[in-house]
Amino acid sequence: MLSENPQTIVALANRILAREGVLDAFGHISLRHPTKPERFFLARSLAPELVTQQDVLEYELTGEPVAPTEFAHYSERVIHSAIYRARDDINAICHHHSVAMMPFCLTEIKLRVVTQLGATIGAVVPLWDQRVEFGASNHLVTREVEATSLARALGSNNLVLMKRHGATVVGRNLRELVFRSIYSCRDADLQLRALNYGEISAFTDEEVKLAEKFPETTMRRAWDYWRSRLPDQNVDQKNPGA
């Protein structure tokens, strides 16, 4: 377990995923409250690389903030609340629009495991198409009914692709979430590169199951490395104008 307070590690996770190219100006990360499972932590509406500890707010599983605030909220925070309600085993969530992952949301190419670290993806990657159930939309997930549908499509899997939109990734803890978010994108990028050279030799489902069980020491090793790469690890400094 991470020893720092939840707001601090959520801020660090935001900065790590921004630094490693999973998030840019958009996307968001949440963490279920460690002692109050009916609540979760999520930053206010802010570019992930700028998130500090003070920007991380506490929310109910309805998606509403616990305490009144003048800050703007992420419009898609219902993604997090719906998945936490549907999955008791999940304690961290990331929604992103990584360039590496988007080709799998725009075409019929199947995201597959092609590396050992990429096995964190899991053997099954569902694809949710908002248009099928809800017709034409702006492709934001801002309504409870849409988020519930997305959570249902995710099922018991590790991530769900969102047609023409992006991906939503889940984890049992924040280290696992960051690990999965980064290596699923790297696996996707490698798969796309390999397609230029010929047919891809992907992992079998049996091989994925054998490879996907990463120990906590592996998660900690990766987390410590990514954290060391942050140009500024001070997440306590308040954003100007906040």
Q: What is the pLDDT of residues 108-137, one digit of tens each?
A: 999 999 999 999 999 999 999 999 999 999
pLDDT tens digits for 28-87? Answer: 999 999 999 999 999 999 999 999 999 999 999 999 999 989 999 999 999 999 999 999
Task: Average the pLDDT over 146-150 and give the result.
Answer: 98
pLDDT for 238 equals 66
**Of the residues 20, 76, 146, 212, which is catalytic?**
76
Dist. CA 102–CA 114, nearest whole Å: 17
pLDDT for 235 equals 73
pLDDT for 52 equals 96
Dist. CA 184–CA 190, nearest whole Å: 10
DSSP codes joined into one string, 8-27: HHHHHHHHHHHHTTS-SSS-
pLDDT for 4 equals 80
Q: How many residues does the chain have?
A: 242
198: CB partners within 8 A, 6+ apart:
none
**Domain 6-218: homologous superfamily in CATH:** Class II aldolase/adducin N-terminal domain (3.40.225.10)
pLDDT for 3 equals 61
pLDDT tens digits for 175-215? Answer: 999 999 999 999 999 999 999 999 999 999 999 999 999 99
Confidence bin at 149 (pLDDT 50/70/90): very high
133 is known as an active-site residue: no
Query: Does this model's pTM top 0.85?
Result: yes
Q: 179: which 2 tokens?
A: 């690990």
Dist. CA 42–CA 80, nearest whole Å: 9
Picking from 192, 12, 229, the residue whose alpha carbon sits closest to that of residue 98 is: 192
Task: Average the pLDDT over 147-157 and give the result.
Answer: 98
Mean pLDDT in the chain?
95
pLDDT for 176 equals 98
Is pLDDT above 70 for 219? Answer: yes
pLDDT for 85 equals 98
